[in-house]
Amino acid sequence: MKRRQFLAGSLATAAATSLPRSVDAKPLAPFKLFDTHAHFYTNQPDRYPFQATGARYGAERMIAKATARPMTPAVVFAFWDAVGVERGTGVQYNSTYGTDNSYLLDCAKAHPDRILPVVILDPVDAATPATLHRFAKEAHLAGVRFSGSPNAQGDVAFLSDAARDTWAAADELGLSVVLMPLGANVPAALRKVAEHADRYPNVDVVLDHIAFPRPEALPESFGLTAEHRALAAHRNVYYKFTSFLVSEMEANARSANRPMIELRPFVEAMVDTYGADHLVWGSDHGNVEVDDVLYVKRALDATEGLKTQDRRAFFYDTAKAVFVPGGRGRRRG
């Protein structure tokens, strides 16, 4: 797709999807929401240069997207206000800025009552532990995020011996570590995630997109592998249910010519496996190309069979306890 065509399509999509946000201003739930996965980026490359080499769909398309519809605080807050989000984590967007967290940190500094920053850093860089300490003190850091594609043995940089000092710093600070292992070897990586959860008990490990279960491949377990299920025994591991996960599961079902996933039994299976107090919700606003408001409604509808206290845990209480500005700073046990 040519850049001009993409820009036109992006602007049309933005215009269409902005309508429900401006009209539907009433909160969607009888309780506050905490969004654990919102992205912030702007179209000011002179001040915040793009580093889009890691963009999923290519740098040119990502830059065109950010230029046409930047995710400034005003844009994200309009969405949050429409659906009833009180506050949330700003998750550094690798697709626009890589490990340059400047824009996210500036947004969080300007809006500390609403944005808790979760940065991306190089897990094996010798400077990262000191950076975590500095960000925790100066920027009220709530977490750090790592992603990558493990090999068949589950080896990936952020779970390697070279990353031990980074994990130790997060453990000392009581920061959350958000992980997004990618690709076919996610189950192998989850065995190493379990080891890290035990080794660093003062870290709350949060698995983005519940580590991508594949219901179309394992319908009897709603896509959870044995490695997914084994993590339930590790009580400092948490699971993020997102709009992106839903869209991915539905895309996988279409590709495999399998029935579309029913969200209510899927969510209830996740609650049965991990507990409502170990699940958090995130919109992935700024990344996933869906009707954001509709997907929030779908997530809320999928939890209607849960007790009210469990729904509150899912959508607010657990996230607030896990993502602590500056970290907890107190070693457990």
Write the pLDDT tens digit of every residue in 193-218. 999 999 999 999 999 999 999 999 99
Q: Kindly report which listed range (51-60, 83-92, 212-221, 224-233) carries the lowest average pLDDT score.
A: 51-60
Among residues 228, 149, 154, the alpha carbon closest in space to that of 188 is found at 154
* Cα 278 off chain centre by: 14
Q: What is the pLDDT of residue 55?
A: 80
Cα–Cα distance for residue pair 168/173, rounded to 1 Å: 9
What's the pLDDT score for residue 47? 97
pLDDT in tens, 251-303: 999 999 999 999 999 999 999 999 999 999 999 999 998 999 999 999 999 99
Report the pLDDT value the prediction gives residue 322, as an integer from 0 to 100: 98
Distance CA 106, CA 103 (A): 5
Half-sphere exposure (Cβ direction) of 156: Cα atoms closer than 13 Å: 27
Model-wide pTM > 0.75: yes
Q: What are phi and psi of 56, to 5 degrees?
A: -60, -40
pLDDT confidence of residue 14:
40
**pLDDT, mean of residues 41-65:** 91
Cβ neighbours of residue 255 under 8 Å, at least 6 residues apart?
Answer: 216
Residue 331 pLDDT: 63
pLDDT at 77 over 90: yes
Domains recognised in the chain with CATH numbers: 28-322 (3.20.20.140)
- % of residues, the chain, pLDDT over 70: 92
What's the rounded mean pLDDT across residues 133-159?
Answer: 97
Per-residue pLDDT at 53: 83
